[in-house]
Chain A
Amino acid sequence: MKQDTWRKALLWMSLLGALTLAATLTVFVFPSSALRPWAVMGFLSIGPGIVIMLFLPETDLLAKWMLIIAMSFTADILLATLFMYAGWWSPTAILAILLVFSGCGLSFHTVRSFFPYAIQPAVALRARRHETPPAS
Chain B
Amino acid sequence: MESYTIIRRLNLSRLHAYTASDLPLIAAPLIALSLWVLSLPRVDVGRMNDLGLVSALPPTTFVALAILIVSFGFAVQTPKQRTAILLLHLGLLILMLYGVTALVEEMPRFDIVYRHAGFTEYITRTGGLDPDLDAYFNWPGFFIFSALLVKTLGVPSILSFAAWSPFVLNLLAVAPLYSIFSSLTSDKRLVWLGIWVFMLTNWIGQDYYSPQGFVFLLYLVIIAIFLRWFTRTSPSPVDDLRVPTERLARGVVRHLWLSWAFPPQTAVSMQNTGAVSRFFAWLQAPKVAEPTISSRRQISMLICLLAIFGVVVCSHPLTPFFVLISVTGLVVLRGYRPRWLPLVLAAMTVAWIFFMTRAYLAGHLAPALGEVGQVDATVGAGVFGRIVGSPGHVFITLMRVAMTALIWLLAVSGFFARLRSRQQDATVVILGLAPFLMIIAQSYGGEILLRIYLFGLPAVAFLVAGLIFPSSKAVWSSRQAAVTIALSLVLLGGFVFTRYGNERNDYMSVAEVAGMRQLYRIASPGDLLVDVSEGAPWKFQQLEQFDYMTLMDTIPKDLAPPNVIAIAAHIRHDTKHTAYLIITRSQAATLESTTDLPPGALDRLEIALVASHQFKLIYHNQDVRIYVFTGGPP
Contacts and interface: CB of A to CB of B under 8 A. Distances in A.
Nearest to B310: A78
A63 B228 contact: yes
A20 B158 CA distance: 23
A37 B151 CA distance: 10
Interface string A77-104: 1101100100001011011000000000
B175 A36 contact: no
Contact of A62 (B151, B175, B307): B175
Contacts of A67: 221, 225, 304
Contact of B175 (A44, A63, A84): A63
Interface stretch (B142-150, B241-249, B572-580): B142-150
Max chain B Cβ within 10 angstroms of own Cβ: one of A36, A66, A75, A95: A66
A74 interface: yes
A87 to B, nearest CB: 8
Max chain B Cβ within 10 angstroms of own Cβ: one of A27, A60, A75, A77: A77
Max chain A Cβ within 10 angstroms of own Cβ: one of B153, B179, B221: B153
Interface in B100-147: 123, 127-129, 140-142, 144-145, 147
Nearest to B10: A7
Contacts of A73: 145, 214, 218, 311
A13 to B, nearest CB: 17
A71 interface: yes
A81 B314 contact: yes
B185 interface: no
Given A37-B153, A63-B179, A70-B218, A81 B140 contact: yes
Contacts of A37: 153-155, 160-161
Nearest to B9: A7
Contacts of A7: 9, 11
B300 interface: yes
Contacts of A84: 123, 128-129, 140, 144
B159 interface: no
Given A69-B175, A80-B145, A95-B148, A74 B153 contact: no
A81 B179 contact: no
A27 B178 CA distance: 35
B177 to A, nearest CB: 9
Given A56-B300, A78-B310, A80-B144, A44 B152 contact: yes
B152 A92 contact: yes
Interface string B298-314: 00110010011011001
B176 interface: yes
Given A63-B175, A78-B310, A89-B127, A70 B221 contact: yes
Nearest to B151: A91
A55 B301 CA distance: 11
Nearest to A90: B127
A29 B444 CA distance: 47
B297 interface: yes
Nearest to A88: B127
B193 to A, nearest CB: 16
A80 B148 contact: yes
A76 B148 contact: yes
Nearest to B175: A66
A114 B160 CA distance: 42
Contacts of B141: 77, 81
B179 A77 contact: no
A91 B152 CA distance: 6
A116 interface: no
A40 interface: yes
B434 interface: no
B228 A74 contact: no
A65 B460 CA distance: 24
B145 A66 contact: no
A77 B152 contact: no
A88 to B, nearest CB: 10
A61 B141 CA distance: 28
A74 B308 contact: yes
Contacts of A89: 123, 127-128
A30 to B, nearest CB: 11
B224 interface: yes
B474 interface: no
Interface in A40-60: 40-41, 44, 52, 55-56, 60
Interface of B: 9, 11, 123, 127-129, 140-142, 144-145, 147-149, 151-155, 160-161, 172, 174-176, 178-179, 182, 214, 217-218, 221, 224-225, 228, 297, 300-301, 304, 307-308, 310-311, 314-315
11 contacts: A31-B154, A36-B154, A40-B149, A44-B149, A52-B304, A56-B297, A63-B175, A69-B175, A76-B145, A78-B307, A84-B128
Closest 8 CB pairs of A and B: A91-B151, A66-B175, A70-B221, A37-B153, A89-B127, A62-B175, A77-B145, A62-B178
